[in-house]
Amino acid sequence: MKTKTQIETQLRRKTNPELVKTIIEAKKGEKWLEVAGILSSPRVKKINVNLDKKSSGKDEGEVIVVPGKVLSEGEISKKIKVVAFSFSEKAKEKIEKAKGETWTILEEIKKNPEGKGIKIIQ
């Protein structure tokens, strides 16, 4: 796991204002520090996850955190809450069709600053 100093150094290179704000907020919480470390990494190391990875072995009602983008490959049948930096349009539609929820990481940090009940997918 990266230190706050390493995250701060990598943060200086970021130009996306939403990404910068998300990393700054994530650095504040101990549970969210791992997410901040992943988001501050170079773009080629970003995590893109398909829906089929999300639905396998997950409990209904679980909060899944993806420090990257959720893509629409695969199907989802369980009602889960997916928190990610961004979603493809089709992925968002599929999650909502399965009665799940889609939130951005920044929204979830403001709602749950301690990071209770989250599971980070890498």
1-50 pLDDT, tens digit per residue, is 889 999 999 999 999 999 999 999 999 999 999 999 999 999 888 788 99
Domain positions in the chain are 4-120
The DSSP 8-state label assigned to residue 44 in this structure reads G
What was the pLDDT predicted at 67? Answer: 93
pLDDT tens for each residue of 40-88: 999 888 788 998 765 555 566 678 999 999 999 988 888 889 999 999 9
User: Tokens 């994530």, residue?
Assistant: 26
Half-sphere exposure of 105 (CA within 13 A, CB side): 32
DSSP 8-state symbol, 74: S
What is the Rg, in whole angstroms, of the alpha carbon atoms belonging to the chain?
Answer: 14
Cα–Cα distance for residue pair 41/20, rounded to 1 Å: 12
Yes or no: is domain 4-120 CATH 3.100.10.10? yes
CA–CA distance, 72 with 91 (Å, rounded to integer)? 4
Q: Record the tokens describing residue 100, joined without a space.
A: 């799940």
